[in-house]
Amino acid sequence: MQMTTIIQMSKQTVNTSKLENPHSVLQPKISLLFYHFSDLKFLPIVSPLHKLYLKMSNEAMDVPKTGFSFDLCRRNEMLTKKGLKSPGYLKTGTTIVGLIFENGVILGADTRATEGPIVADKNCEKIHYMAPNIYCCGAGTAADTEAVTDNISSQLKLHRYHTGRESRVVTALTLLKSHLFRYQGHVSAALVLGGVDVTGPHLHTIYPHGSTDTLPFATMGSGSLAAMAIFESEYREGLTRDEGVNLVTKAICSGIFNDLGSGSNVDVCVIEKGKKEYLRNHLTPNPRTYISSKGYTFSKKTEVLLTKITPLKELVDVVPVGGDAMEE
């Protein structure tokens, strides 16, 4: 038990997610000591050639438990039953789309991040950099999409150094899908991955449980149905760049205006062979129009009776006795 408390405390200080107040009290504790999750407990697939008779059920093992421990989740459930309001987490309600046009891939996303019913960020970036030629839109829990794309982006960079070649989209795909499958859907990241590599343009969707699809056009997030309606009626093969950007913008706008979880502006990213354009806030259909030019004035409610300024007094006089002055 003691070890668990220590890890819990250190998790609080390390937590640098978008949340103002680290809600680590109600987050599952991750065993920070063991980075590689044992094949036995959480990565369920074992090599049949070598471990034919391995029992999967819980055995008393000498090896310490690795992987996720959900003990605190039971405590959290108990607390919620007793009436403690669980803090919301930052989700990207989201509409994210991608499509393949004649020369490459276009990705699009809205820019609203929600925390329950409140808009936490009116202009967040949902199109994440993976490699110079690969970008990834993320829907789901903001921390999860951010963390998983950053992690795989680092792995891709190391891979580039190792191989001396441009990264391929299928590499990013396999790294992401293995990571998400290992966490059995608890990493709530639904991604649209797109890029152009030596083998051509590619577009994939990746679901939180680790399954992937390869498609010519794709939508994800709460606004995916609205955006898919636009794509299904108007997508065709061999779109030009401008047609593609317009279609993506239209699909995202459809999500922004018809889905409560999506809103604010449209981000677009065009990736072609050898070049990319990240059009941040390509369209801003929701400007803040009613700004008072005079600014806000708040009438004084409390009357000032007396103003007195007292400089702080030194309680201790430092008298150098002799000897060497302190270093530093």
Partner 1 sequence: MDRDATADVNAPHSMGTTIIGVTYNGGVILGADSRTSTGLYVANRASDKITQLTDNVYICRSGSAADSQIVSDYVRYFLHQHTIQLGQPATVKVAANLVRLLSYNNKNMLQTGIIVGGWDKYEGGKIYGIPLGGTILEQPFAIGGSGSSYLYGFFDQAWKEGMTKDEAEQLVVKAVSLAIARDGASGGVVRTVTINSEGVTRNFYPGDQLPLWHEEVEAHNSLLDILNASSPEPMST
| Chain residues that interact with partner 1, rule: CB under 8 A | 44-49, 51-52, 54, 56-57, 93, 116-117, 140, 177, 180-181, 185, 188, 190, 205, 207-213, 215, 220-222, 224-225, 259-261
Element (H, E) at 174: helix 169-182
Among positive and negative, which fits the CA dihedral 321, 324, 326, 328?
positive
Q: How far is the CB of 250 from partner 1 (least distance, A)?
A: 17
| CA–CA dist 56, 192 (Å, integer) | 34
DSSP secondary structure letters along 137-158? EEEEEHHHHHHHHHHHHHHHHH
The beta strand positions in 24-101, using DSSP E, are 29-30, 68-69, 91-92, 96-101
Taking the least distance from each CB to partner 1, the nearer of 128 and 177 is: 177
Taking the least distance from each CB to partner 1, the nearer of 107 and 228 is: 228
Q: How far is the CB of 222 from partner 1 (least distance, A)?
A: 5
Cα–Cα distance list, 41 to 20, 180, 189, 252 (Å)? 33, 16, 22, 41
Among positive and negative, which fits the CA dihedral 199, 207, 224, 282?
negative
Taking the least distance from each CB to partner 1, the nearer of 47 and 307 is: 47
Q: How far is the CB of 100 from partner 1 (least distance, A)?
A: 14
Cα–Cα distance list, 93 to 79, 179, 190, 319 (Å)? 27, 22, 11, 63
* 190, 138 Cβ separation under 8 angstroms: yes
Smallest CA-to-CA distance from 90 within 145, 46, 52, 49 is with: 145
Q: How far is the CB of 214 from partner 1 (least distance, A)?
A: 8
Q: How far is the CB of 149 from partner 1 (least distance, A)?
A: 17
| CA–CA dist 102, 125 (Å, integer) | 26
Q: How far is the CB of 307 from partner 1 (least distance, A)?
A: 49
Taking the least distance from each CB to partner 1, the nearer of 133 and 264 is: 264
* Enzyme catalytic residues: 94
Backbone angles phi, psi at 139, to 5 degrees: -125, 155
Taking the least distance from each CB to partner 1, the nearer of 24 and 264 is: 264
| CA–CA dist 171, 152 (Å, integer) | 10
Element (H, E) at 72: helix 71-82
Cα–Cα distance list, 281 to 238, 268, 295 (Å)? 25, 7, 26
Taking the least distance from each CB to partner 1, the nearer of 220 and 245 is: 220
